[in-house]
Every structure is written in C-alpha cells, then in structure tokens.
Structure 1
Amino acid sequence: MFDPGLLIQSLPLLLAGLWNTVWLSAGGLLAGFVIGVGVCSLKLSERTVLRRLGGAYVSVFRGIPLLIQLLFIYYLLPRLGLDVPAWVAAMAGLALCCGAYLSEILRGGFLTLPPGQVEAARLLGLGGRDILVRIKLPQALRATLPALLNEVILLIKASSLISAVGLAELTRTAQNLAASTFLQLQFYLAAAVLYCVVNISLALLAGRLERRFEAGRA
C-alpha cells in the first residue's frame, strides 16, 4: 500500500537522513584517502618491516566486516576513556576500512608509473614528499580514477551499516518510518531511489572526468 501524502510529509526526514549519509561518507572517504596514501607508501617501501606493516593493515581491515569494525570501535572507545560522539566512531570505522581498499587501488596506480620519472625527479633535487605529491599521486589518481570512484559508490552503500551505532542516516530513517507506519515497501523504495540518485550522479561524474582526462592525454 502506498500513501503519497505521507511520503511527501516524510520527505524532509528522508533527505535529512540522506544528508547524514553523504557527509559521513565524505568525511570517511577523505580520512580514508589519507590513510590509504600512508599505507600504500608503507607497502611500496624498500624496508621489509614497513612493507609487512602495511600488508598487515590491509589484511586486517579488508578481512574483518565493516559492521564488526564499527561495533568494535563504538564500544571500545568508551572503555578506553574516550567519550566521543557516535558520528566520530562511525566516521573512524569508515575511514579505517576505506583506507585499506584505497591503498591497494593507489598501489596499483603507483606501480604503473615509469621508474625513470622518480629517478629524474631525484636528480633535480626533489625530496620524497615532493615526488609523492607532485609526480606520483597526480598520475596515480588519473590511472585509478574509475576504481576510486567505484570505491566511493561502494562506501556510500556500505554507510548504511553505521545505523548499527545509532545514527539516523538514510537506511535507519527509512527503517524508523517503515516501523511506525507499517508502509515498509513505500519507505524502503524511497530510500532505494535516493541511493540511486546519489550513486548514479557519481557514476555520471566519473564518466565525465574520465572522458576529460582522456581528452587531455590526446
């Protein structure tokens, strides 16, 4: 059964939930990107200990389901005396998990770069940080853009799990509305449509950026 009037009345709540989904995912993505670059640097290090440390991080955070990571962080931090809001724990869980996947994507991009570029940059006097930021990272981002944007879409969908720590993102909002009105199909369908709008928009943006980069290369 559908109730269009009730759906329109509940739309602000669904959009508020969508906003929580988007900004928490964006925060987790940005923090995860920083983590991913750091872990990728460890895995590409010439030191065996650092490579193993980076590999251990990837294995752990790709091997444990995101839901378990979120619950572990959410319940562990208070036991350590860190009274943080639920959104901090949720964003931390998203970032740690996302960082593991992004590190492998970026590592694949770094491995495609000609080694002569790094050698030439060192001869010009550039340090390791400048080589990473000005030479390696821009080219790796271009090479891995489709995979990176695909990971963004997967992260937004996976963010539905943060409802487990009590945050009213889109999925939790739809669940609450469905439970209070007994119109499960209506509100779950509305949530699905909103997820599709966001993810299809990101997919279109990815295609446009990819075509622009290809045109630039040409």
Structure 2
Amino acid sequence: MLVLLDARTRPVAFIAIVLNIVALAIIPTLPPDQRIFGFLLFVIVLLSSLAAIVRLVTQAKAKDHTRPNLEAKVDALMAKLVADKFLPDLIIAIPRSGLIVAGMLAHALGEKKISPVLSLVRNDHNEFDNPLNLMSFTSKDFDENSVRPIQVLVVDDICASGRTLVAARAYVERHLSGADFNIRTAAISYLGSSSRAAKPCLTSSKNPRQRFSALPAT
C-alpha cells in the first residue's frame, strides 16, 4: 500500500504502521486486568490509521498524472457541461495546469462548437490584476445577433480552498458586463481543504462532495 503513496504522504503512513506495531507489542506486557484496555486502544489506533491510510491512498491515486486518468476526468467534466447545457463560448484558463484542462475541453468541444481559450496571468502579488490580461471585448465580438448571454467558463485543474477560482472569477466579472456574460467556474476535481472552501460550479466528480483530484492543487 505504501508504494501507492507519494513522497510527502508515505512517511505519515509509515509512522501510523509503526505505532500500531508498537501498540500490539506492548499489549502482552501489560497486567492481565489491563490488557483489555490496551487491546481496545490498539483497535482504535488501528482503525484510525487505516482510515488515514485509505484517505492518503485515495489522494495519491487521484493525483495520478497519467493521460488516461486525466482524459477520463476531462470527459466527465465535459459530460457535466453538456448535461447543464453550458457549452462555453469562451474558456479562461488559470495557469499552469488549468491550461491543460482548458485545451482538452476546447478540443472536446470542437465537435459541437469552437471555443477560444484565454489564459490569465498573475502579477507579482499572485493576483490577476495584470495588464497582460486583456478583457476589452464585448458580447458583440462573439455574436452580433445573439440575444443570450455569452457563456464563459473559468477553469482550473484542482480546486482546494477555492480562493484561486474565486479571485479569477471576480477579476473576469469586473471586466465583463454581467448582463452580457454568464460566467461559471470549473475544476476537474474538488479537494475541499476546509469546510469553508468555495466550491466550483462544476467538477468532474460524480459526487459533488468528492474531495480528491488529479493534478497538484493551486
């Protein structure tokens, strides 16, 4: 099981295993009337350790960068977009890994519509107020005769705390007229680093509360 973990989580799992071995070795040395308590403590530690290891393994597998896994997640997100009837007229990517997802989405959308991809550029303060982020277009630049709002998808690979997607969406909304543009956020997976984490509008997870993802979090 340890081989499924990455270098950062493997020591945690190893320590949990060692603690269980030590606890199991100590039980026979306890007085007979205390062994039951030692055994109960061992069971509690064991179950807690197993739960932690399973979580770490799930996270490690979810961060697999191999192409089949990434393609499956993008396909799942694409299916969500189709089901919600939200086929973006414009995809705005959060670099770096968000560019990969945005490109794959645009390629998948190619059979249904052509969706240009823009990339946001952060400034020295890791914010999006950057003169390179040109948002001077209007809805008429997409379709002069359209009576519906232009659909814009702000996409990243992973949403952990949600701060990056929230900041990116806020930046886009400040520069695009709200009445003319329908802006949503998406990530191929949602980590949910805390109970206060902001969820993206769409993820590739079948269960919206699924917390594990495919690429390193931003």
Q: Under a length normalisation based on structure 1, what TM-score does the superposition of the two structures give?
A: 0.29
Flag the structure with more relative contact order, 1 or 2, with Cα contacts below 8 A and sequence separation at least 6: 1
Structure with bigger gyration radius: 2
| Higher-strand-fraction structure | 2
Question: TM-score when scaled to structure 2?
Answer: 0.29
